[in-house]
């Protein structure tokens, strides 16, 4: 049986699963927004008279908001706590979704989409951060990846919501307004969860940290609360302060590179062009409008199903292996898609192969790079700088998303569809080399053990985190 299921059963306590799901609603907001706008846009552009520049702004301003949200919330997650940052993010989402649903002009819609972006950018990394800090090592991979599971479920939910309201008058207002429900669920749900033990220890609130850990570990026979507290304490003593410039310290820098590489390659292999443009890609193979939309739902389902596979396997097979297998798979698939579009013979005689390639691509992403990026950045950094370093990696991820989404159509115009897919394939090859060379295995280790191993033993950790200089 999967280590994840056995591990959860051993913990004998539903609290961990409950709070991980609540925290992962942050992922649902993220995914819902990614999926809903393309459908809503079809209708709102007529009602609000949006020309193509206005439409581009309506879509992409969310990514700009997300970049800013991710920057600001690294600080908030330390100062206010992970928990309260997520409550605020849920509230902002509710206001944003309502504002979009009732928007009477393009500037108003753009303004509220920006607000949604602030919330999504925050939720996108504080969710994995929170879950990693409450999870025991044996099931951390699966639990943190609930976040990715809810991202993919959010994308699928959005396709279904778009479909449900496609013939309702003012349907786009409903499509955007439905976001109020997960937003409120996040804000209210987060009020019921505890602070993370690691954040409490950073605040010097050891008694509370111990009480939370005791509840979280339930009757888990592998749990040793004293040892966990001692490890967190030891790791904390090695850190002096947590400032943004700490990210540049020589021992920390390699970890920042790993997070940056994962963040950028996750987007540069073209995932969101497939998510945003799947119907267009499929239509290019000669399908009708409705057939290509139906097949897009199939792509969405594959994304969810293979993320479940990842949740079950990450704690058994390991992060690194799944990352490498997945990235090889998606690279082969996208290069094949390039070959497909270059060959008129394949297009006429075997058009179903485009769908097969898209499905393989999505499945391979869902099993590796999708969840592993968010998981790794929640694991590899020391507690004192975790939220700032994660916020940095998240900013890069949103910025790379913005660049790819904003240039895809131009890229196709410049070098053709197949050319664009070959570029993504080339990125995939670079990604495989980088991951094989740099990305460590973190399965089964406590966050503090990972910190020790990556920074090279107590003395070096201490020196790395305490030294004021950048030497
Ligand atoms: C990525 C998103 C992407 C989603 C697709 C996430 O891990 O960060 O940009 O849309 O996966 O499943």
Query: Considering only CA atoms, which of 149, 136, 254 is closest in space to residue 198?
Result: 136
Closest Cα to atom 7, ligand 1: which residue? 370
Give the mutation target among 35, 66, 149, 151 for probing the ligand 1 site: most ligand atoms within 8 A of CB: 151
* pLDDT score recorded for residue 242: 60
- The ligand 1 site (C-beta within 6 Å) comprises 34, 148, 151-152, 266, 271-272, 275, 303, 370, 397, 401
Ligand 1 centre to CA of 343 (Å) is 29
Q: Mean pLDDT of all residues in the chain? A: 89
Ligand 1 centre to CA of 398 (Å) is 10
pLDDT-derived band at 248 (thresholds 50, 70, 90) equals: confident
CA distance 392 to 256: 8
**φ/ψ of residue 380, rounded to 5:** -85, -15
Give the mutation target among 26, 27, 29, 31 for probing the ligand 1 site: most ligand atoms within 8 A of CB: 31
Is residue 224 situated within a structural domain? Answer: no
Looking at the predicted structure, is the pLDDT value of residue 325 above 70? yes
* pLDDT score recorded for residue 468: 39
Is residue 326 situated within a structural domain? Answer: yes
Ligand 1 centre to CA of 265 (Å) is 12
* Angle at the Cα of 79 from the Cα atoms of 74 and 82, rounded to 5 degrees: 65
Count: domains in the chain: 1
Contact 62, 56 (CB under 8 A): no
Is residue 359 situated within a structural domain? Answer: yes
Is pLDDT larger for residue 245 or for residue 67?
67
* pLDDT score recorded for residue 457: 55
Looking at the predicted structure, is the pLDDT value of residue 251 above 90? no
* pLDDT score recorded for residue 51: 87
Contact 83, 186 (CB under 8 A): no
Is pLDDT larger for residue 221 or for residue 99?
99
Query: Measured from the CA of 267, which atom of ligand 1 is nearest?
Result: 9
Mean of pLDDT values over 139-167: 92
Is residue 113 situated within a structural domain? Answer: yes
Is residue 453 situated within a structural domain? Answer: no
Looking at the predicted structure, is the pLDDT value of residue 470 above 80? no
Looking at the predicted structure, is the pLDDT value of residue 471 above 50? no
Ligand 1 centre to CA of 40 (Å) is 20
pLDDT digits (tens, 9 = 90+) for 428-460: 999 999 999 999 999 999 998 898 888 875 545
Query: Measured from the CA of 148, which atom of ligand 1 is nearest?
Result: 7
Ligand 1 centre to CA of 272 (Å) is 7
pLDDT-derived band at 239 (thresholds 50, 70, 90) equals: low
DSSP for residue 208:
H
Mean of pLDDT values over 244-252: 76
Is residue 127 situated within a structural domain? Answer: yes
Query: Measured from the CA of 362, which atom of ligand 1 is nearest?
Result: 12
Contact 263, 396 (CB under 8 A): yes
333: Cβ contacts below 8 Å, ≥ 6 apart:
357, 358, 360, 361, 364
Looking at the predicted structure, is the pLDDT value of residue 208 above 70? yes
Closest Cα to atom 3, ligand 1: which residue? 272
Residue 76 buriedness (CB in 10 A; 0-12 / 13-18 / 19+): buried
Angle subtended by helix axes 14-47 and 52-79, to nearest 10: 150
CB atoms within 10 A of CB 9: 11
pLDDT-derived band at 375 (thresholds 50, 70, 90) equals: very high
Closest Cα to atom 12, ligand 1: which residue? 152
Provide, rounded to the nearest whole percent, the portion of the chain with pLDDT above 90.
Answer: 60
pLDDT-derived band at 467 (thresholds 50, 70, 90) equals: very low
* pLDDT score recorded for residue 364: 98
Contact 292, 421 (CB under 8 A): no
Closest Cα to atom 11, ligand 1: which residue? 370
Is residue 460 situated within a structural domain? Answer: no
Ligand 1 centre to CA of 209 (Å) is 32
pLDDT-derived band at 12 (thresholds 50, 70, 90) equals: low
**CA distances in angstroms from 167 to 42, 103, 175, 291, listed in the order given:** 12, 19, 11, 18
The single residue listed with the structure tokens 């990556």 is 454
* pLDDT score recorded for residue 339: 96
Ligand 1 centre to CA of 369 (Å) is 9
Is residue 215 situated within a structural domain? Answer: no
Is pLDDT larger for residue 67 or for residue 43?
67
Range of the domain at 58: 2-193+239-439
The single residue listed with the structure tokens 């409903």 is 174
pLDDT-derived band at 469 (thresholds 50, 70, 90) equals: very low
Counting Cα atoms < 13 Å in the Cβ hemisphere of 214 gives 7
Query: Measured from the CA of 373, which atom of ligand 1 is nearest?
Result: 7
Ligand 1 centre to CA of 347 (Å) is 28
Closest Cα to atom 2, ligand 1: which residue? 272
Closest Cα to atom 10, ligand 1: which residue? 272
CATH number for the domain including 52? 1.20.1250.20
Ligand 1 centre to CA of 468 (Å) is 36
């Amino acid at each position: 049986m999967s280590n994840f299921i056995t591990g959860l059963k051993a913990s004998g306590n539903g609290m961990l699963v409950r709070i991980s799901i609540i925290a992962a609603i942050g992922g649902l907001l993220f995914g819902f927004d990614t999926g809903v706008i393309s459908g809503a846009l079809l209708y709102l552009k007529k009602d609000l008279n949006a020309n193509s520049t206005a439409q581009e702004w309506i879509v992409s301003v969310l990514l700009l908001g997300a970049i800013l949200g991710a920057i600001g919330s690294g600080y908030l997650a330390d100062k206010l706590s992970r928990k309260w940052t997520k409550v605020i993010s849920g509230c902002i989402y509710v206001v944003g979704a309502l504002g979009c649903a009732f928007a009477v002009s393009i500037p108003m819609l753009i303004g509220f989409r920006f607000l949604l972006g602030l919330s999504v950018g925050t939720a996108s990394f504080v969710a994995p951060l929170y879950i990693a800090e409450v999870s025991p090592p044996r099931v951390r991979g699966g639990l943190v990846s609930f976040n990715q599971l809810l991202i993919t479920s959010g994308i699928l939910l959005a396709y279904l919501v778009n479909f449900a309201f496609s013939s309702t008058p003012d349907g786009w207002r409903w499509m955007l307004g439905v976001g109020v429900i997960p937003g409120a669920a996040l804000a209210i749900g987060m009020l019921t969860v505890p602070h993370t033990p690691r954040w409490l220890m950073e605040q010097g609130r050891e008694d509370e940290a111990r009480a939370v850990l005791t509840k979280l570990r339930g009757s888990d026979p592998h749990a040793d609360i004293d040892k966990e507290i001692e490890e967190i304490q030891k790791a904390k003593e090695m850190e002096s302060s947590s400032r943004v410039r700490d990210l540049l310290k020589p021992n920390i820098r390699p970890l920042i590179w790993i997070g940056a590489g994962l963040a950028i390659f996750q987007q540069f292999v073209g995932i969101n062009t497939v998510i945003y443009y799947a119907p267009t890609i499929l239509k290019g193979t000669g399908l009708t409008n409705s057939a290509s939309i139906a097949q897009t739902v199939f792509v969405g389902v594959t994304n969810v199903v293979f993320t479940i596979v990842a949740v079950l396997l990450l704690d058994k097979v390991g992060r690194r292996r799944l990352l490498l297998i997945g990235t090889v798979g998606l690279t082969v698939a996208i290069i094949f898609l390039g070959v497909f579009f270059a060959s008129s013979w394949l297009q006429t005689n075997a058009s179903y192969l485009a769908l097969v390639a898209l499905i393989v691509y999505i499945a391979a992403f869902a099993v590796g790079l999708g969840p592993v990026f968010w998981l790794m950045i929640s694991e590899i950094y020391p507690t004192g700088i975790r939220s700032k370093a994660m916020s940095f990696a998240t900013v890069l991820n949103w910025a790379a998303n913005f660049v790819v989404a904003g240039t895809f159509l131009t890229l196709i115009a410049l070098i053709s569809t197949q050319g664009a897919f070959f570029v993504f394939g080339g990125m995939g090859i670079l990604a495989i080399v980088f991951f094989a060379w740099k990305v460590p295995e973190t399965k089964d280790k406590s966050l503090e053990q990972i910190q020790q191993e990556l920074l090279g033993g107590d003395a070096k950790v201490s020196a790395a985190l305490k030294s004021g200089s950048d030497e």
